[in-house]
Amino acid sequence: MTLHKGASPSDRKQTGHPVNPFYGEADPVAGMETAPPRHTLPDGPLAPHAAYQFVHDELMLDGNSRLNLATFVTTWMEPQAGVLMAECRDKNMIDKDEYPRTAELEKRCVAMLADLWHAPDPSSAVGCSTTGSSEACMLAGMSFKRRWMQRNQDRYPGSARPNLVMGANVQVCWEKFCNFWEVEARTVPMEGDRFHLDAASAAEQCDENTIGVVAILGSTFDGSYEPVADICAALDEVQKKRGWDIPVHVDGASGAMIAPFLDPELMWDFRLPRVASINTSGHKYGLVYPGVGWALWRDTEALPEELVFRVNYLGGDMPTFALNFSRPGAQVAAQYYTFLRLGRAGFRAVQQATRDVAGSMAERIGALGDFRLLTRGDQLPVFAFTTADDVTAFDVFDVSRRMRERGWLLPAYTFPPNREDLSVLRVVCRNGFSMDLADLFLADLEQLLTELRQQSGPMQRPESVATAFHH
Ligand SMILES: *Cc1c(COP(=O)(O)O)cnc(C)c1O
């Protein structure tokens, strides 16, 4: 999480303002007169209704999540899911003996995903829930590294240094993995109109110290799917020529819950023998509120047994693979609810509706004439666009900032190497972002453009920075 500093001198100087008497006790003698300090633990307690009101009021300044086109994370669930989650909020996922039914639901979710992702033998596929895709990717990366170490005990530690091959468009979790676990990140830069990893460059980067290749379904930068099957085929060639058997991990944070329903013919999952592991974010297109991800391995061979811990001090003896210990169980119950509630047909309908909204928005934005589409929302329901070549009056950062005035969070950011020259806007369509909201968005954008076209040039701003969180 954000690494915060303690209170600054000016923070500490702040004294509480008088409290609205209606918030607490209207009687100033019995109740509070001044608000508690904000940067030191208050000396005494506060009545629950007053404390609630303080926190509630401050949070009003957070954005409206439904108008946020930057995030991939679920911002709407059915009321029943909310009730279920409230019922489970005291359940600790790690305590599998105390909460055997929660553990059972997790197991069923893993089994359903193994089936959905075509594990060759679902009974030997292994997997677990995680806090999100980031933790899932760490676990998959650790399995890669450990398997490579087992094959290279004579050279590591010592002369060999492990590396991981991926596109420069990877989500930041892979840079974290490489940093934390001391693996060289071999990132393939973008070139021209290629905005993600391609098979030839992936194969070129590999050597005997490559622990694996990460293929993304799909890229957070533009919503495009990486060619997983081609990457696997290129690695088959590498194996034939050089003898290196390099496994692939599919980072399906978003796409692993889109492709099975909307692109059933696309070969990207365990049907490809080289795919050793897959992750997804239950809280993205798995349609659950934040805090859940999934990691699956095609079989027990892909997940070294020595990484698995068996804890017995809570009673029971369950194998676990996780970075965290305690974790909320509510998200797992909510994931199972979503699977049960929608089924394949329901997921197909929901994801198709989302992709339809994305496609329609992309088409309409493309037709405005001011923009050039990089993607069309026909893979992930996500698309990126930039200003048309002849547009000189404004740039993508102007559009992002001005749309914010109307309540829309539309991120603008620059691409990674070697296309840092390219700045884009990106729209992430999610369940709950209806065609009605898309119409309102387009109307606001069109109205804004009549103003922006009058500018003499892009607004000045400090050395270009992204305008909103875009991962
Ligand atoms: C969002 C995302 C992640 C990180 O997932 P969290 O669930 O937010 O931890 C990793 N990889 C890709 C491709 C993503 O889109």
Residue 178's pLDDT is 98
Shared-domain flag, residues 315 and 251: yes
67 is a domain residue: no
293 lines ligand 1 (CB under 6 A): yes
Residue 315's pLDDT is 64
SS (H, E, C) the chain: CCCCCCCCHHHHHCCCCECCCCCCCCCCCCCCCECCCCCCCCCCCCCHHHHHHHHHHHHCCCCCHHHECCCCCCCCCCHHHHHHHHHCCCCECCCCCCCHHHHHHHHHHHHHHHHHCCCCCCCCCEEEEECCHHHHHHHHHHHHHHHHHHHCCCCCCCCCCCEEEEECCCCHHHHHHHHHCCCEEEEECCECCECCCCHHHHHHHCCCCEEEEEEEECCCCCCCECCHHHHHHHHHHHHHHHCCCCCEEEECCCHHHCHHHHCCCCCCCCCCCCEEEEEEECCCCCCCCCCCEEEEECCHHHCCHHHCEEECCCCCCEEECCCCCCCECHHHHHHHHHHHHHHHHHHHHHHHHHHHHHHHHHHHHHHCCCEEECCCCCCCCEEEEEECCCCCCCCHHHHHHHHHHCCCECCEEECCCCCCCCEEEEEECCCCCCHHHHHHHHHHHHHHHHHHCCCCCCCCCCCCCCCCCCC
Alpha-carbon distance of 28 to 25, in angstroms, equals 7
Shared-domain flag, residues 304 and 386: no
Residue 5's pLDDT is 82
Structural domains counted in the chain? 3
Shared-domain flag, residues 136 and 110: yes
344 is a domain residue: no
CA-281 nearest atom, ligand 1: 7
Shared-domain flag, residues 95 and 47: no
CA-135 nearest atom, ligand 1: 9
Shared-domain flag, residues 233 and 98: yes
Please report, for the domain that includes residue 431, its CATH number. Answer: 3.90.1150.160
Residue 116's pLDDT is 98
Last residue of a domain, one of 7, 28, 62: 62
Shared-domain flag, residues 154 and 290: yes
Please report, for the domain that includes residue 203, its CATH number. Answer: 3.40.640.10
7 is a domain residue: no
CA-136 nearest atom, ligand 1: 9
Residue 21's pLDDT is 66
Containing structural domain, residue 115: 80-338
Last residue of a domain, one of 285, 304, 338: 338
Shared-domain flag, residues 25 and 95: no
268 lines ligand 1 (CB under 6 A): no
Q: What is the pTM of this model?
A: 0.93
Shared-domain flag, residues 201 and 317: yes
Residue 379's pLDDT is 98
pLDDT in tens, the chain (471 residues): 677 888 888 877 776 666 666 665 555 555 556 777 888 898 888 888 888 888 998 899 888 888 899 999 999 999 999 999 999 999 988 887 888 889 999 999 999 999 999 999 988 899 999 999 999 999 999 999 999 999 999 998 888 999 999 999 999 999 999 999 999 999 999 999 999 999 999 999 999 999 999 999 999 999 999 999 999 999 999 999 999 999 999 999 999 999 999 999 999 999 999 999 999 999 999 999 999 999 999 999 999 999 998 877 666 677 889 998 889 999 999 999 999 999 999 999 999 999 999 999 999 999 999 999 999 999 999 999 999 999 999 999 999 999 999 999 999 999 999 999 999 999 999 998 999 999 999 999 999 999 999 999 998 776 555 666 566
CA-284 nearest atom, ligand 1: 7
Shared-domain flag, residues 227 and 375: no
Task: Determine which residue's CA is closest to atom 14 belonging to ligand 1.
Answer: 253
Residue 67's pLDDT is 87
221 is a domain residue: yes
Residue 169's pLDDT is 96
281 lines ligand 1 (CB under 6 A): yes
467 lines ligand 1 (CB under 6 A): no
Shared-domain flag, residues 312 and 222: yes
171 lines ligand 1 (CB under 6 A): yes
Shared-domain flag, residues 115 and 52: no
